[in-house]
Amino acid sequence: MSKGLRHNTGRLLAVVIILLVLAVAAASGLWQQYQQFLRTPLLVTESGLVFEVRRGTNIRSVVAELARRGVTRAGWHWRLLNKLQASTIQAGEYTLAAGMTPTDLLRLLSSGKVVSYRFTIVEGWNVVQLLAALERDPVLQHNAPGVDELVGLDGLPAGHSEGWFLPETYVFVRGDSDLSILRRAYRAMQHALLETWAGRAEHLPFETSYELLILASIVEKETSREDERAAIAGVFVRRLQNRWRLETDPSVIYGMGEAYDGDIRRRDLDADTAYNTYRRHGLPPTPIALPGLASLRAAAHPEAGDAMFFVADGQGGHTFSATLEGHNKAVRKMLRRGAGQQEKKR
């Protein structure tokens, strides 16, 4: 090999070595940048950030939106991270927490651990109040029909939908509808009623589980105290067994509908309607509210005893009496207490 050729080869080798060193240095620098990117938390405040990933969205779109909100910067780091992790993100609403790193974010979006919400059906609501509350919920999609159209929904008994939705707290995610809540509450009530009916006490004056549901709804409206429900159910069961009229104000009020203005007048008690238990014997034709589990169980296991009457005691509970004389005495005591409380307010 000539001297000139050896010289040129040496120079070329030196250039190659220099280029390799520069490439390694550049790659090392880029790798250090990437590692720093992985360690750097996203710009999320202490209160967190709720972020929605819509169906069909890819990670590039997510990063672009987060960059628009100032949470991160779009760039090759995100593309490399996504390539290395090969994550499949899931649609839904997520809570981004302070201190979360890019890796944490991808894990979260691929986990499906979306934000959940709660809707509570309150014991004692009627179905009109339930539908109104669902309509007011700002997260649920609103697809539920009106009260009249509910009949026949997923097997709801023909003629009336009252009483068939179990009061409970139902968890849902953004994108769920009010109709899905109704379906779940109906299935929950079916299950609860079936279970309660199967375990009911003997010799109750009910031919069907629906009649038990009706009485449970009356118990629900008569008291909010769990320790009284079985006692009140016992009074009504004994009245049914003795062919007495139930004479329960909540059923009269339910039958009045929108005409009820807060007072029951003599003409209301005299009106011969299907829900006027002062005029008609037996149970009203349908439930009058949505009873909770405690009221269902009270109706299925009424408290034994001889009480045939009860009246509010003015202190959040009731006074129970076996005789009309005792009941009238309790009523007079309640009226005196009420008058005394009014006097103190003056």
pLDDT digits (tens, 9 = 90+) for 191-236: 999 999 999 999 999 999 999 999 999 999 999 899 999 999 999 9
Identify which has the larger pLDDT, 201 or 151: 201
Residue 345 pLDDT grade (very low, low, confident, very high; cuts 50, 70, 90)? very low
Q: Stretch 96-112: mean pLDDT, rounded?
A: 89
Report for 98-102, 111-115, 199-203: range of highest mean pLDDT: 199-203
| 339 has pLDDT over 60 | no
Long-range Cβ contact pairs of 185-193 (< 8 A, separation 24 or more): 185/121, 186/153, 186/154, 186/155, 186/156, 187/154, 189/163, 189/164, 189/165, 190/164, 192/166, 192/293, 192/296, 193/296
pLDDT computed for residue 217 by the predictor: 98
Give pLDDT, residue 17: 63
Location of structure tokens 């139930």:
246
Mean of pLDDT values over 170-196: 94
The CA distances from residue 141 to 122, 136, 172, 178, 180, in Å, are 20, 10, 11, 6, 10
pLDDT digits (tens, 9 = 90+) for 244-267: 999 999 999 999 988 888 888 899
Give the pLDDT confidence score for residue 194 in this predicted structure: 97
